[in-house]
Amino acid sequence: MAITAAHVARAPRIRLGMVGGGRGAFIGAVHRIAARLDDQYELVAGAFSSDPDRAAASAADLGVARSYASFEEMAAKESRRKDGIEAVAIVTPNHLHAPTALPFLKRGIHVICDKPLTGTLPDARRLAKAIQGSNSIFALTHNYTGYPMIRQARAMVAAGELGDLRLVNVEYIQDWLTEAVEASGQKQADWRTDPARSGAGGSTGDIGTHAFNLANFVSGLTLDTLAADLQSFVPGRRVDDNAHVMLRYTSGARGTLWCSQVAAGQENGLRLRIYGTKGGLEWGQENPNYLWITPYNKPKYRLTRGGAGTGPDAARLTRIPAGHPEGYLEGFANIYAEAARAIIARRDGTALDPATTFPGLKEGLEGVAFVDACVRSSKKNGAWTKLAL
Amino acid sequence: MAITAAHVARAPRIRLGMVGGGRGAFIGAVHRIAARLDDQYELVAGAFSSDPDRAAASAADLGVARSYASFEEMAAKESRRKDGIEAVAIVTPNHLHAPTALPFLKRGIHVICDKPLTGTLPDARRLAKAIQGSNSIFALTHNYTGYPMIRQARAMVAAGELGDLRLVNVEYIQDWLTEAVEASGQKQADWRTDPARSGAGGSTGDIGTHAFNLANFVSGLTLDTLAADLQSFVPGRRVDDNAHVMLRYTSGARGTLWCSQVAAGQENGLRLRIYGTKGGLEWGQENPNYLWITPYNKPKYRLTRGGAGTGPDAARLTRIPAGHPEGYLEGFANIYAEAARAIIARRDGTALDPATTFPGLKEGLEGVAFVDACVRSSKKNGAWTKLAL
Amino acid sequence: MAITAAHVARAPRIRLGMVGGGRGAFIGAVHRIAARLDDQYELVAGAFSSDPDRAAASAADLGVARSYASFEEMAAKESRRKDGIEAVAIVTPNHLHAPTALPFLKRGIHVICDKPLTGTLPDARRLAKAIQGSNSIFALTHNYTGYPMIRQARAMVAAGELGDLRLVNVEYIQDWLTEAVEASGQKQADWRTDPARSGAGGSTGDIGTHAFNLANFVSGLTLDTLAADLQSFVPGRRVDDNAHVMLRYTSGARGTLWCSQVAAGQENGLRLRIYGTKGGLEWGQENPNYLWITPYNKPKYRLTRGGAGTGPDAARLTRIPAGHPEGYLEGFANIYAEAARAIIARRDGTALDPATTFPGLKEGLEGVAFVDACVRSSKKNGAWTKLAL
Amino acid sequence: MAITAAHVARAPRIRLGMVGGGRGAFIGAVHRIAARLDDQYELVAGAFSSDPDRAAASAADLGVARSYASFEEMAAKESRRKDGIEAVAIVTPNHLHAPTALPFLKRGIHVICDKPLTGTLPDARRLAKAIQGSNSIFALTHNYTGYPMIRQARAMVAAGELGDLRLVNVEYIQDWLTEAVEASGQKQADWRTDPARSGAGGSTGDIGTHAFNLANFVSGLTLDTLAADLQSFVPGRRVDDNAHVMLRYTSGARGTLWCSQVAAGQENGLRLRIYGTKGGLEWGQENPNYLWITPYNKPKYRLTRGGAGTGPDAARLTRIPAGHPEGYLEGFANIYAEAARAIIARRDGTALDPATTFPGLKEGLEGVAFVDACVRSSKKNGAWTKLAL
């Protein structure tokens, strides 16, 4: 039991609002726990639903005093309050990310937005422009990059411990859309399989973007082209529920990405493997506290979060000792914590820890362009296709 | 991705104080996260250290306005405030649990106390009397019983799915005291190896009590006698750092308990296996989202938290879908959440969910008696010994 | 410990010859152990090397009395002996499989040939013709289909337990060609990276054919087209050392195949996953005694070789009880045992167990056509390509 | 794929006889495969059953020409043949080991005997005397010491890589006697639960001796005393089916041994963990190709049979490359191979590889004394008891 520094001094909490995440939602609750975990945020306002009654009821459930019937109203009114929100969490379906973010960005309110950035490339570009023209910090919750052992993996790759990278293998496979659950009115499935709300990608947008982001984050590679074969296995489904994608990186490295929502019996099988001239690594989201390192011609070893051999990049996002597992919520909270560091440094004019790292606009654009390229490649029978960045 | 009900309406937060847990402490930070995770508590007061300067500095770190130089002062003053604390978390070394709890109990303030209950049996009995004579709810953070799959295991045993139990095998093995780290002034090791502060048991008190509690919780068995062989492998160590214990239960079931703080390379290896006439189960703390069930003459299967085949006892303590791991902090938070249900029901006069379960006085007494029996048995060369309950 | 029927009556041993497999060879020794394990063969003759001295020395090493300087001589002379060989094992480099087999086939001697069938498609067709025109039984040692749990998997798929298949994911990744070991004169690497001896495929021929065969064997699917991206990562290497292949089956199922000899830190990572409308399965060669079944919306379970829930297709190839692992040699021996059943039934005019199954000409042709299609597809930048069967 | 030296020159095969192992037996078939695997033995004679018809039928099944109705006859007649057996494998129930071995020992025939040495201590002493007075080599098939990674573990302990040993934890748990299968006439269960044939120990004799031997073999420690709690959980069972044993070694190290045949859902769960001042190790029989090394304050690593970091003690018993699993039969065959080295060196007057290691009389005596001490300790309610060596 190495004792870690979970006790840290903290600045006054960041006043946070939320759009979406009312009764029946899933990811909103996750964002709230993530915001709360390290005590850096205080949820003080919300437009939890486009349905005013549901919005009010949700605010009451959560003990949030300032409830708004619309995000526009919230942006406008909060920006005029002296104790108004400093940041907003956007946890709506994809097609609303851009329109929701705009009024907050315009007013210099920081934005923490669920992924993918938007449902469409034009929306993404419009949002990019708004972000670039604003004074706001923009964070995108590609939460898996918050896992400490992913930080460790990235640091080791960057330090050359795997040598020159040759191969990236990433997959994110689930089974929750094995049957036509959207037909039953299940709320999560409903909008995620509706191109108007989700975007042109189904599995590619919902989880393929996570896989793509994770591979980029750890490998540091830049995609050149991809060749995709997308499927909609469930009759009547309007978006892909499985995708096989071959990857070519600019460095000459190659890879594959597999995302699926019809891999029966799989839960959240996000798994990354990378191989270079000197060694390999392997990490799986379902047991995220472990990182396997497999040097060529040396014994394979397993690093554990908080354990021996794990370096400062992991340690700074670690709360508890090795052997006491941290999970999904802690990893998600790390994105909130990283964003908090940036927001507080901006607010207080203090120095930002240079190690602070969180996904933002660049990663968001790449994700939407990835989905777009997959869809275009698949329509051309798997032709090698560049991201339209 | 089965969507779980992480969004719940909540009553006004419970006003919480804390004793101990200042700068340099470990478990206090864990308690704070656990209290915060489900937004059921608000930390409003603290006596974070017996050193007044450190207490004040710690309160400032944490943004806690009402800082006290002593727990007696906190108990007295808070009980006179209209907005005074409703509950106190005690996260001091073991020998201070009883004296600290008493003034709060006297005033009807609920107590959430770190384990073990006390360092000595006389202290435990004194505290028991105070709890029984109070109007306070008393919760003891044997946090591992908060893991959802432990609840699942308990429910399956109770439902007879393993048949009549024959064997219990529980172990909790660590390595952090492999060397004489107490000699280096490491704060956690310092008091934990000092009988005056920790009690007569070293590994038996610190982690053996967890293992014993967990086995009892899941199996529902009652210990008859134990035979213990305790060791202090590190020269100069004043308490046991390893214990082998054989167990005989009143039902005729038998078991073994192994706790160690010198098992080099082990992190927090708490592992439970139970075998009955119809099947077995296996669970390990380091991957707590899995529960193996091994029926006799049928295929072995692995239940996952939130996944198919997992019942309501696990579901009620589950926040996120299967495949997104929950960890130590979530399990710890479940004890806080269970205690919150009891406290709120008491406060508001509402009905308590009858499934609410958390460790308290009974488990605390058993734990201290377990340590005491281990020490006595070992002194008599492993003679079979009853708990002095 | 369920006791299995390892004790079986046996017919007189099959007299076996071997071509290749002399000093310094690898797979020849594996074939000899496989032939010996169940006591169904007796190695009585060999042309162990094209170098006469090495051939003789190898025969002496092995205690094989009848040593020949060439396979032609062996075929001619053995066929004239009353006690001549009934079957020959061919364990030469790929380009010699066809020329070696022909004289034995011509004389009605049964052939057990290492994979792939040949190095080139023309050779494969020539050999096919010879086999079809002979009275010989022809077995190809795609040994992984001999693992009992692979038989179990195949039986469960055939019985519809996974529903309609949607996805096949197969990979075989190694690291032994991470560096240019062929440059050092390592014998295994030398011929395997020489297109003249190995064929146009490197990793695709050596291990990709295994992966392709295994996926076909278990799934029962028929490939329609593939799209391949082949690489030679090691400078100067003349054949592929990594391949990413997307698969489309005639049924509408889709898949991916990954083979690599540069995945640093991987040993013999042959892994198969299949998903259908009702469930999935997962198997890995490095722990071959386990088979995971993951039904949709039911608990995941793990079958073990010899254990409960494992059916007759696995049991008939099982020698020892569950929990006592069988490995690679036992799986390899199962191919020899299956071939022995066919040979003995032919020889003795007895009924052949209808469950007898081993890879032969059809699988061999498919394998060579798979390599050929990969190479052609990759040259056309991953165009979807049919097997030239 | 590191290529290993599976191809070795060999001396003329050792002529082997077998006593026991006829139709319906289990371990006899295992011995035969083990003897055959490396082509060092030829089974030429047998007294496969005390029932003459069954003996003859079994010999016919196996194609063994020289079948005897009794072991006495076999010993007498074979010793008079010029081509008589050089070694005999004894695979009878325990109580027959000693009487069977004696006539062979008297005639200088080498003996390979199944474990435990005998059912009783007096028998063991009688056999010991005979062995010591003979010219025969005596090997006892504590087969688990034949696993290459067990050799690796032993070498690392001996080299001090774990520091001074503190803790040994060994268990061997099965479930095949969870119910009263002996009542159904199952042959294996029948004699193993009959004290007259099995000896006073049930699980302690059948598998506890394996566990005890394995722990001694790897640790190099010498037991001082043990305290045992034995149970017979199944009503009517005449021998123990579960045992909890605490161990004290002469060096001051401590340990526990658990053997069970009623651990429902367990197959052959033989698992060894050892911890010293510098690190720990962990090995499990069901995945025997892995060995975990857990140095204190360094990353944990996993050695694989044939893989990087594995030394010569493992390599000399390794047939195939890393990642191609070897299993129980290969480990068993290693004991036969080691014994063959000794027998051939004796026969041919050649030098014996000094690394040759196999269990024999010493280990056999320790095993019987272990069972005896467990039974005596348990009768005295777990009193600390010395082995009566």
> Per-residue pLDDT tens for D333-360?
999 999 999 999 999 999 999 999 999 9
Distance of CA C357 to the CA centre of its chain: 13
Q: Which of A196-200, A262-266, A285-289, D226-230 has the lowest mean pLDDT?
A: A196-200
DSSP assignments along D200-229, one per residue? S-SHIIIIIHHHHHHHHHHH---EEEEEEE
Our CA-based measurement puts residue A369 at a distance from the nearest CA of chain C, in whole angstroms, of: 22
- Among A21, A22, A325, the residue with its CB nearest the CB of B327 is A325
Q: Please report the sign of the dihedral spanned by the C-alpha atoms of residue C54, residue C56, residue C58, residue C61.
A: negative
**C378 sits in which H/E element:** helix C361-379
Residue C355 counted as domain residue: no
Residue A53, class by beta-carbon neighbours within 10 Å (0-12 exposed, 13-18 middle, 19+ buried)? exposed
Burial of C50 (0-12, 13-18, 19+ CB in 10 A): middle
Choosing among B289, B302, B303, which should be mutated to test the C contact, i.e. which has the most C CBs within 10 A? B302
Mean pLDDT, to the nearest integer, of A247-260?
Answer: 98
Q: Is residue B304 part of a domain?
A: yes
Residue tagged 């979807």 (tokens): C384
Of D111, D143, D175, which closes a domain? D143
* Domain C-terminal end among D121, D143, D165: D143
Distance CA A66, CA A60 (A): 10
In a domain, B89, yes or no: yes
Q: Which residues pair with D259 in a beta bridge?
A: D172, D243
B69 and B199 in a common domain: no
Mean of pLDDT over chain A: 95
Same domain? For D284 and D158 the reply is yes
For residue C93, whether the previous peptide bond is cis, meaning omega lies within 30 degrees of 0, is no
- C322 and D268: CB-CB below 8 Å? yes
Residue from B359, B361, B346 nearest B86 by CA: B346
Whole-angstrom Cα distance, residue B308 to residue B371? 39
Tell me the mean pLDDT in the region D46-75: 95
Q: Are A289 and A295 in contact (CB under 8 A)?
A: no
Does residue B302 contact residue B291 with C-beta atoms inside 8 Å?
yes
Binding-site residues on chain C for chain B (CB distance < 8 A): 293, 297-304, 307-309
Which residues of C are less than 8 Å from A283 in CB distance? none
Chain B CB contacts of D229 under 8 Å are: 227, 246, 248, 254
Specify whether D288 is located in the same domain as D249: yes
| Cβ <8 Å between A299 and D303 | yes
What pLDDT score does A1 carry?
A: 35
The answer to whether the CB atoms of D260 and B277 lie below 8 A apart is: no
State the pLDDT at residue B187. 85
The C-alpha atoms of residue B239 and residue B218 are separated, in whole angstroms, by 28
**CATH (domain of B211):** 3.30.360.10
Interchain contact, B309 vs C301, CB within 8 Å: no
Provide, as residue numbers in chain A, all residues whose Cβ is less than 8 Å from the Cβ of B176: 1-2
Give me the number of domains chain B comprises. Answer: 2
Distances (CA, A) of B176 to A307, B288, D87: 11, 21, 52
What local confidence, expressed as pLDDT, does residue D208 receive?
98
- Tell me the per-residue pLDDT of A288-333, one tens digit each, with 9 for 90 and over: 999 999 999 999 999 999 999 999 999 999 999 999 999 999 999 9
Could you give the CA distance from residue D317 to residue D306 in angstroms, rounded to a whole number?
A: 10
Confidence (pLDDT) at A115: 97
Chain A residues with CB under 8 Å of D299 CB are 293, 301-303, 307-309
Q: Which residues have a Cβ under 8 Å from the Cβ of B5 and sit 6 or more positions away?
A: none
Q: How far apart are CA D316 and CA D289, in angstroms?
A: 14
Contacts of C1 in chain D (CB under 8 A): 174, 176, 188, 267-268
One digit per residue, pLDDT tens: chain B, 389 residues?
Answer: 334 434 456 778 999 999 999 998 889 999 999 999 999 999 999 999 999 999 999 999 999 999 999 999 999 999 999 999 999 999 999 999 999 999 999 999 999 999 999 999 999 999 999 999 999 999 999 999 999 999 999 999 999 999 999 999 999 999 999 999 999 988 889 999 999 999 999 999 999 999 999 999 999 999 999 999 999 999 999 999 999 999 999 999 999 999 999 999 999 999 999 999 999 999 999 999 999 999 999 999 999 999 999 999 999 999 999 999 999 999 999 999 999 999 999 999 999 999 999 999 999 999 999 999 999 999 999 999 999 99
Residue A332 burial by CB count (10 A; 0-12/13-18/19+): exposed, middle or buried?
Answer: buried
- Quote the CA–CA distance of A215 and D84 in Å, as a whole number: 67
Average pLDDT over residues D59-80: 96
Residues in D closer than 8 angstroms to A293, CB to CB, are 299
Q: Is residue D353 part of a domain?
A: no
Cβ-based neighbour number of residue C326 at 10 Å: 26
pLDDT tens track for A110-162: 999 999 999 999 999 999 999 999 999 999 999 999 999 999 999 999 999 99
Provide the pLDDT for residue D5. Answer: 39
Residues of A in contact with C258 (CB under 8 A): 169, 256
Asked if residue A181 is part of any domain, the answer here is: yes
Q: In the prediction, which pLDDT does A24 show? A: 82
Chains that touch C (3 or more CB pairs under 8 A): A, B, D
Q: What integer pLDDT is reported at residue D1 of this predicted model?
A: 35
Residue D184 or residue C148, greater confidence: C148
User: Which residues, including other chains, have CB under 8 Å from residue A301's CB and lie 6 or more apart?
Assistant: A292, A293, A309, D299, D300, D301, D302
Residues D137 and D183 reside in one and the same domain:
no
Name every residue whose Cβ is closer than 8 Å to that of residue B96 and which is 6 or more positions away in sequence.
B20, B90, B197
A vs D, Cβ pairs < 8 A, gives 32
Q: Which residues of C touch D329 (CB under 8 A)?
A: 37, 319-320, 326, 329-330
Q: Do A325 and B287 touch (CB under 8 A)?
A: yes
Instruction: Kindly report the length of chain B.
Output: 389
∠ Cα D122 D124 D126 (to 5°): 70
Among candidate residues A98, A96, A103, the one with its CA nearest the CA of residue A128: A98
pLDDT, tens digit (0-9, with 9 covering 90-100), for A341-362: 999 999 999 999 999 999 999 9
- Do B161 and B76 fall into the same domain? no
Tell me the CA distances in angstroms from B153 to B148, B247, C267, D304, one per residue in order. 9, 20, 37, 34
| Helix, strand or coil, per DSSP, at residue D302 | strand
CA–CA separation, C309 and C302 (whole Å):
9
**Taking an 8 Å Cβ-Cβ cutoff, which residues of chain A contact chain C?**
162-163, 166-167, 169, 175, 178-179, 227, 229, 231, 233, 242, 244, 246, 248, 254-256, 258, 260, 262-266, 273, 275-280, 293-296, 300, 381-382, 384
Integer angstrom CA distances of residue C187 from C89, C109, C182, C237, C305: 20, 29, 8, 15, 35
| β-bridge mates for residue D16, sequence order | D43, D87
* Whole-number pLDDT of residue A9: 61
Distance from the D67 Cα atom to the nearest Cα atom in chain A, whole angstroms: 50
Distance CA B188, CA B200 (A): 16
pLDDT for the residue numbered B286: 97
- Do D260 and D371 fall within a single domain? yes
For B297, the closest chain C residue by CA position comes to: C308
CB B213 within 8 A of CB B142: yes
The domain that holds D119 is classified in CATH as 3.40.50.720
Q: Residue A319: list chain B partners with CB under 8 A.
A: 29, 33, 329
Of the candidates C248, C260, C382, which has its C-beta nearest A227's C-beta? C382
Domain, as residue range, for D272: 148-319+363-386
Distance from C-alpha of D197 to C-alpha of C223, rounded to nearest angstrom: 59
- Which residues of chain C have a pLDDT value below 50? 1-7
| D197 and D184 fall within a common domain | yes
For B79, residues 6+ apart whose C-beta sits below 8 A from its C-beta are: B107, B108, B109
Residues of A within 8 A of D304 (CB-CB) are 300
CB contacts, 8 Å: D175 with chain B: 275, 280, 294, 296
In a domain, A226, yes or no: yes
User: Where are the strands (E) in D221-363, listed by range?
Assistant: 223-231, 242-249, 254-260, 269-276, 279-284, 290-295, 300-304
**Which of D3, D289, D300 would you mutate first to test chain A, the one with the most A CBs within 10 A?**
D300
Q: How far is D257 from chain C (nearest CA, A)?
A: 19
Residue B7 placed within a domain:
no
SS3 state of residue C259: strand
Q: Of C161, C278, C302, C305, which to mutate for an interface test with B (greatest number of B Cβ within 10 Å)?
A: C302
Residue of B nearest to D245 (CA): B246
pLDDT tens, residue by residue, D225-266: 999 999 999 999 999 999 999 999 999 999 999 999 999 999
pLDDT of residue C9: 61
Check whether residue B124 and residue B193 sit in a common domain: no
Asked whether residue B101 falls in the same domain as residue B166, the answer is no
CB neighbourhood size of D349 (10 A)? 7
The DSSP element (H or E) to which C275 belongs, if any, is strand C269-276
Are B28 and B157 in a shared domain?
no
Mean pLDDT of D109-113: 98
* Res C8: pLDDT: 56
Q: What does the pLDDT read at residue D9? A: 61
pLDDT at D4 over 70: no
- ipTM of the prediction greater than 0.90, yes or no: yes
The single-letter code of the amino acid at A159 is: A
In a domain, D338, yes or no: no
Strands D41-47 and C254-260: what pairing?
Answer: unpaired
Residues in C closer than 8 angstroms to B297, CB to CB, are: 308
Residues in CB range of A367: below 8 A, 6 or more apart: A115, A116, A117, A140, A142, A209, A212, A213
Q: Are residues B369 and B245 in the same domain?
A: yes
Share of chain D above pLDDT 90, in %: 95
Q: Can you tell me the mean pLDDT for D176-193?
A: 92
Closest residue by Cα to residue B276 from B166, B382, B201: B166
Yes or no, beta carbons of B277 and D178 under 8 Å apart: yes
- For testing contact with chain D, the best of B173, B224, B229, B380 (most D CBs within 10 A): B229
Q: What does the pLDDT read at residue C177?
A: 97
CA distance C376 to C131: 27
Using N-to-C axis directions, what is the helix angle for A27-37 and B27-37, rounded to 10°?
150
Q: Do A275 and C260 touch (CB under 8 A)?
A: yes
Print the SS3 string covering C64-83. CCEECCCHHHHHHHHHHCCC
Residues of B with CB under 8 A from a CB of C: 293, 297-304, 307-309
Residue at which a domain ends, from B123, B143, B163: B143
Do D100 and D87 lie in one domain? The reply is yes
pLDDT at A296: 98
